[in-house]
Amino acid sequence: MSNNHLPTIAIGSLGGTISMTQAHGQDGIIPTLSASELISSIPGVSQFATVQASALNQVASIHLKRSDLLAALDWAEQQVAAGAAGVILSQGTDTLEESAFLLDLLWVHEEPLILMGAMRGATAVAADGPANLLNAIQVAASNNSRGRGVLVVMNEQIHYARWVQKKHSLSLAAFVSDVGPAGTIVEGRALYFSAPPKRMTFARPAATTKTVLLWLNHLDEHTELLSQQDILDPLGEKFDGIIFAGVGAGHVSTLTAQWIAKWAKLKAVIICTGTGSGSTSFATYGYPGGEIDLQNHGAIMGGFLSPKKARLLLWIILENGLNPKVAVRDYLGSMIY
Ligand code: DAS
* pLDDT tens digits, one per residue of 173-210: 999 999 999 999 999 999 999 999 999 999 999 999 99
Please report the pLDDT score of residue 1 as a whole number: 46
Q: Strands 150-154 and 300-301: what pairing?
A: unpaired
In a domain, 309, yes or no: yes
Ligand 1 atom with the smallest distance to the CA of 17 is: 9
- The Å distance, Cα 189 to ligand 1 centre, comes to 27
In a domain, 204, yes or no: no
167 has pLDDT over 50: yes
| Across 140-144, average pLDDT | 97
Rounded to a whole number, what is the largest CA-CA distance in the chain?
A: 68
Distance of CA 126 to the CA centre of its chain: 26
Task: Give the integer Cα–Cα distance in Å for 92 and 248.
Answer: 29
Task: Give the integer Cα–Cα distance in Å for 299 and 305.
Answer: 15
Nearest protein CA to atom 7 of ligand 1, as residue: 92
Q: Which residues line ligand 1 (CB under 6 A)?
A: 16-17, 60-61, 92-94, 117
Domain count, the chain: 2
Please report the pLDDT score of residue 237 as a whole number: 85
- The Å distance, Cα 60 to ligand 1 centre, comes to 6
Q: Label residue 220 left, alpha or beta by phi (over 0 means left) and psi (-120 to 50 means alpha).
A: left
| Catalytic annotation present for 17 | yes
pTM more than 0.85: yes
- The Å distance, Cα 102 to ligand 1 centre, comes to 18
What one-character DSSP code corresponds to residue 121? Answer: -
Ligand 1 atom with the smallest distance to the CA of 59 is: 8
- The Å distance, Cα 30 to ligand 1 centre, comes to 10
Same domain, 285 and 144: no
- Cα–Cα distance list, 225 to 122, 252, 292 (Å): 45, 15, 25
In a domain, 197, yes or no: no
In a domain, 304, yes or no: yes
Test site for ligand 1: of 61, 98, 155, most ligand atoms within 8 A of the Cβ: 61
Residue in 246, 257, 243 with CA at minimum distance from that of residue 217: 246
Please report the pLDDT score of residue 28 as a whole number: 94
In a domain, 200, yes or no: no
Ligand 1 atom with the smallest distance to the CA of 119 is: 4
**Which CATH number goes with the domain that contains 33?**
3.40.50.1170
Test site for ligand 1: of 19, 93, 97, most ligand atoms within 8 A of the Cβ: 93
Ligand 1 atom with the smallest distance to the CA of 20 is: 9
- The Å distance, Cα 63 to ligand 1 centre, comes to 10
Task: Give the integer Cα–Cα distance in Å for 260 and 236.
Answer: 10
> What order of strands is seen across the sheet that includes strand 241-246?
212-216, 241-246, 268-273, 300-301
| Annotated binding residues for substrate | 61, 93-94
- Cα–Cα distance list, 181 to 14, 56, 95, 164 (Å): 24, 28, 19, 8
- Select which of 8, 17, 95, 256 is catalytic: 17
73, HSE (Cβ side, Cα atoms, 13 Å):
23
Is the pLDDT higher at 138 or at 228?
138
Task: Give the integer Cα–Cα distance in Å for 127 and 195.
Answer: 32
Same domain, 219 and 169: no
Same domain, 274 and 185: no
Please report the pLDDT score of residue 119 as a whole number: 98
Same domain, 161 and 256: no
Residue 28's domain comprises 8-192
pLDDT band at 47 (very low <50, low <70, confident <90, very high): confident
